């Protein structure tokens, strides 16, 4: 497979959004991308919000740390606070970082289908063959640039052996839900997903006025392409950080915080869907 991939024109943008995460955590995810077998095809984009503490020092450190890692390019962006029509969060940060990166690499229109974008959280770890598997899947499916979003199964086992029984069960259930429903029935993507730059451009990138980029992108892009988007599974798991921490007491506090955030996110997604559903094909809206 590796020999066959060497002859392709496929390149990758891996974009990670950061806020107040420790630099060691960000360094871990960037290192997992640097360990990819196809690292020379990757443009690494690290997006910070303007209110991130010591953001300039973090950018400088990461660029120096990974300047010889083999990336095609490493780009750090700082998303300005208070831009019109935006709210702080992952959507606006990812949107700004992706648009900035695209302007810097100057992509030609006829080459957009040859660039795959992967957006992710800072608490993720990619296996070394993720990019190769994504490229191979895209080529095997005959480059469905405007019809498919790619989702890897997420395993919530970052330090899972040291967490409580409740957290371990929750992590397993979330992984089973993704494998058994979200991907299988094309319901929605979650957290870490990949797509062609052609689809991102046609869908006007990521809506900066919302929070939950995975579902918002799916709805937004189905409206723009006027078709139901298929979710295709990449057959390699990505390790994602669990929601909570080591103690049950902290988990209760964290789940209360997450429930409030998810309720707000679900409400905004429903609002966005109601607005956009009239512009979507009936079967895609029903799904």
Beta bridge partners of 76: 46
**Cα distances (angstroms) measured from residue 25 to each of 11, 18, 29:** 25, 10, 7
For Cα atoms 12, 13, 14, give the angle at the middle one, nearest 5 degrees. Answer: 115
How far, in Å, CA of 147 to CA of 227, rounded? 8
Number of alpha helices (DSSP H) and beta strands (DSSP E) in the chain: 10, 10
Contact 179, 256 (CB under 8 A): no
Q: Could you report the average pLDDT of every consecutive run of 10 residues in the chain (287 residues)?
A: 66 94 94 97 96 95 96 96 91 95 83 94 93 96 94 80 72 84 88 94 92 89 88 93 65 72 76 82 75
Quote the pTM value. Answer: 0.89
Contact 143, 198 (CB under 8 A): no
Residue 186, CB half-sphere, CA atoms under 13 Å: how many?
17
15 sits in which H/E element: strand 11-18
- In this predicted structure, what is the pLDDT of residue 40? 95
- In this predicted structure, what is the pLDDT of residue 264? 74
**Cα distances (angstroms) measured from residue 254 to each of 135, 211, 250, 260:** 37, 18, 6, 10
Domain boundaries defined on the chain: 7-286
How far, in Å, CA of 23 to CA of 28, rounded? 9
- In this predicted structure, what is the pLDDT of residue 109? 76
- In this predicted structure, what is the pLDDT of residue 28? 94
- In this predicted structure, what is the pLDDT of residue 241? 72
Contact 160, 239 (CB under 8 A): no
- In this predicted structure, what is the pLDDT of residue 180? 87
CATH class of 7-286: alpha beta
Other C-beta atoms lying within 10 Å of the C-beta of residue 243: 17
Q: Which of 119, 148, 141, 117 is nearest to 228 (CA)?
A: 148
- In this predicted structure, what is the pLDDT of residue 37? 95
How far, in Å, CA of 60 to CA of 39, rounded? 21
- In this predicted structure, what is the pLDDT of residue 11? 94
How far, in Å, CA of 262 to CA of 28, rounded? 26
- Supply 13's token pair: 């943008």
């Amino acid at each position: 497979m590796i020999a066959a991939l060497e002859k392709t024109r496929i390149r990758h943008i891996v974009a990670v959004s950061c806020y107040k995460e420790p630099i060691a955590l960000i360094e871990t995810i960037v290192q997992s991308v640097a360990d990819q077998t196809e690292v020379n095809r990757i443009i690494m984009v690290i997006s910070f919000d303007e209110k991130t503490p010591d953001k300039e020092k973090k950018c400088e450190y990461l660029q120096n740390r990974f300047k010889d890692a083999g990336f095609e390019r490493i780009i750090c962006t700082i998303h300005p606070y208070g831009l019109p029509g935006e709210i702080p969060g992952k959507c606006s940060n990812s949107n700004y970082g992706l648009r900035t990166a695209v302007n810097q690499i100057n992509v030609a229109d006829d080459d957009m289908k040859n660039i795959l974008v992967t957006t992710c959280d800072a608490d993720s770890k990619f296996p070394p063959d993720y990019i190769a598997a994504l490229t191979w899947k895209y080529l095997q499916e005959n480059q469905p640039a405007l019809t498919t979003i790619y989702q890897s199964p997420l395993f919530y086992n970052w330090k899972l052996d040291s967490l409580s029984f409740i957290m371990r069960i929750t992590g397993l259930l979330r992984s089973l839900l993704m494998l058994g429903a979200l991907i299988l029935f094309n319901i929605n993507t979650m957290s870490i997903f990949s797509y062609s730059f052609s689809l991102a451009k046609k869908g006007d990138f990521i809506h900066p006025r919302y929070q939950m980029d995975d579902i918002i992108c799916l709805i937004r892009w189905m409206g723009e392409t006027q078709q139901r988007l298929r979710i295709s599974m990449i057959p390699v798991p990505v390790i994602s950080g669990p929601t909570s921490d080591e103690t049950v007491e902290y988990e209760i506090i964290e789940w209360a915080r997450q429930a409030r955030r998810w309720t707000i996110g679900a409400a905004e997604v429903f609002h966005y869907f109601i607005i956009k559903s009239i512009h979507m094909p009936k079967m895609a809206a029903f799904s």
